[in-house]
Structure 1
């Protein structure tokens, strides 16, 4: 089960804009790039390179875990942001709980998480 449709970032132009103009925050396994979009719902996209794993099965497993973490944290993220989550090479060994903790830490660091 993916993210709700209104919270998906899908178009390559949106990704390109966020990469060029967004603010970056890096962790061990993930990096996030944020761009404010006032008067719009928060949209999230996930980017994972073949450098992380040559096998599509592994990359898809990582994306599923990150999507689940995003679904869990989405109600606490302030509206009006476009977020791209980039998976780093260290993510191959990570489990869901690690993605959840790191994503929460990065969102708090970026000051887009409610209550922090």
Structure 2
């Protein structure tokens, strides 16, 4: 099951805004770029993008599997994320070398989001 359309960061301009003005936090396998929007509509929700380059793996099958695991982790964390956030996750090549799984991605995402203050750290 994919992320809902309301929660996807799709436009190149949205990604560029997050990269230019957002904060950055790193873990061993992931990098989080986060941008808190000034005005938030009451019905607006957090938007999430995933960036994974061919440097991580030349094989699309591997990259897509990692993206699915990260999306699943985000789905479980989404109710805790404040609606004004725009988030981009960048996967590091070390994630493939260490054979990361869903649980590890979930743990690292939760730590990164807590550092960025996108969630309160209480689960």
1: CA distance between counterparts of 2:24 and 2:100? Answer: 21
Q: After superposition, where does 1:63-78 map in structure 2 within 5 Å?
A: 63-78=67-82
Q: After superposition, where does 1:1-116 map in structure 2 within 5 Å?
A: 1-37=1-37, 38-39=39-40, 40-92=44-96, 93-115=99-121
- Deviation >3 Å, runs of 4+: none
- Compute the displacement of 1:114 (Å): 3.3
2: CA distance between counterparts of 1:28 and 1:115? Answer: 19
How many equivalent residue pairs? 116
2: CA distance between counterparts of 1:72 and 1:115? Answer: 14
2: CA distance between counterparts of 1:31 and 1:25? Answer: 6
User: What stretches of structure 1 of length at least 5 have no aligned partner?
Assistant: none
User: What stretches of structure 2 of length at least 5 have no aligned partner?
Assistant: none
1:64-110 residue CA offsets vs partner (Å, 9 max, x unmatched): 00000000000011110000011011111100000000000011111
